[in-house]
Amino acid sequence: MKQKVAVSTEENTIESIIDQRFGRCKYFMIIEIDDEKNIINSGSVENQGALQGHGAGIRAAQQLGELGVEAVITGRVGPNATTILEQLGIKAYNGSGIVKEAIQKFLDENLEKIEEVAEPHNDQSTNEISKDQDENEKIFFPLLEDKGIDSRISEHFGHAPFFGLYDVKNDEFKIIGNDLNHSDPNKSPIDQIEEAVNPTTIFAKGIGGRAINIIRSKGLGLKTGDFNTVKEAIENIEEMVTQENSCGHEDHH
């Protein structure tokens, strides 16, 4: 008997990063699994909940029911969406990182069920505050210099002399010096960046595999693109693509 599993995602491939938002994710990857625990089909659907002004989580849950989904892998699920999922008999599991890897963990029974319902502000308030979550995106850039949006983007992530943060909604850009402590045993550079500027998305040309895994585990976006300056990146923001691979120089990033 086939089983259908949905995964909330940023993009529409099985290599996509799992979106930690349930009601406001852009896509659901729908994975069909046979009795032998083999993936026999995969495809994507646009999340109808993300188009809602209100009740995004409810509509997303209803859509999964209409698709015959039996389980969903995501990050946070609000109380109203949880109620609908329970009524439909859809089990929710917590996952992060890449869709394909999370599906394998699901098949290996290594994913935890979502037992704790997210507070309403985590799911419902986004209906009112952010009809388009991308408007609230804050993009982090590693920089070679402090020249505003004309600053050149560094090829080396962790050791760039400056960092910049672009607030998409307010069209604001600020630069700070790189004060990361790479020898801190308790906080990775990514942890320190998150504390300093709280980005939603990391932009990197060259980045190590360990940093990629930490970024994904935090549910942050990771983008790249062939841009020389922040200005070029901002003007072509729709052309940024998901960063998939490390540069292979773990000790330099």
What pLDDT band is residue 49 in, cutting at 50, 70 and 90? confident
CA distance 14 to 9: 9
Q: What is the CATH number of the domain that holds 60?
A: 3.30.420.130
Tell me, yes or no, whether 80 and 166 share the same domain: no
* AA letter at 147: K
Q: Are strands 27-33 and 138-143 parallel, antiparallel or unpaired?
A: unpaired
Encode pLDDT of 65-114 as tens digits: 999 999 999 988 888 889 899 999 999 999 989 999 999 999 999 999 98
Q: How many domains does the chain have?
A: 2
Determine the structural domain holding residue 96 and report its residue range: 3-128
Last residue of a domain, one of 65, 97, 128: 128
3-state secondary structure of 148: helix
- The whole-number pLDDT of residue 206 equals 76
Tell me, yes or no, whether 160 and 218 share the same domain: yes
Tell me, yes or no, whether 111 and 149 share the same domain: no
Encode pLDDT of 110-142 as tens digits: 999 987 665 544 333 333 333 334 557 899 999
What's the whole-number mean pLDDT along residues 174-192? 82
- The whole-number pLDDT of residue 122 equals 39
Question: What's the 3-state SS for 59-105?
Answer: HHHHHHHHCCCCEEEECECCHHHHHHHHHHCCEEEECCCEHHHHHHH
What's the whole-number mean pLDDT along residues 191-200? 85
Q: How far is CA 103 from CA 8, 117, 126, 213, in A?
A: 12, 22, 27, 16
Predicted structure pTM score: 0.50
Q: Which two tokens stand for residue 124?
A: 């419902």
Tell me, yes or no, whether 120 and 169 share the same domain: no
- The whole-number pLDDT of residue 33 equals 93
CA distance 52 to 108: 35
Last residue of a domain, one of 66, 96, 128: 128
3-state secondary structure of 57: helix
- The whole-number pLDDT of residue 142 equals 92
Last residue of a domain, one of 85, 111, 128: 128
What's the whole-number mean pLDDT along residues 170-180? 87
What's the whole-number mean pLDDT along residues 208-216? 80
Tell me, yes or no, whether 14 and 86 share the same domain: yes
Return the DSSP state at 19. P
The whole-chain average pLDDT of the chain stands at: 83
Q: How many helices (H) and strands (E) in the chain?
A: 8, 11
Q: How far is CA 214 from CA 18, 105, 218, in A?
A: 13, 18, 6
Q: What percent of the chain has pLDDT over 90?
A: 40
Q: What percent of the chain has pLDDT over 70?
A: 86
Q: Which two tokens stand for residue 44?
A: 């994507």
Residues whose CB is less than 8 angstroms from the CB of residue 99 and which lie 6 or more positions away in sequence, other chains included = 7, 9, 13, 14, 15, 16, 17, 18, 29, 31, 73
Question: What's the 3-state SS for 163-215?
Answer: EEEEECCCCEEEEEECCCCCCCCCCCHHHHHHHHHCCCEEECCCCCHHHHHHH
- Residues in the chain, total: 253
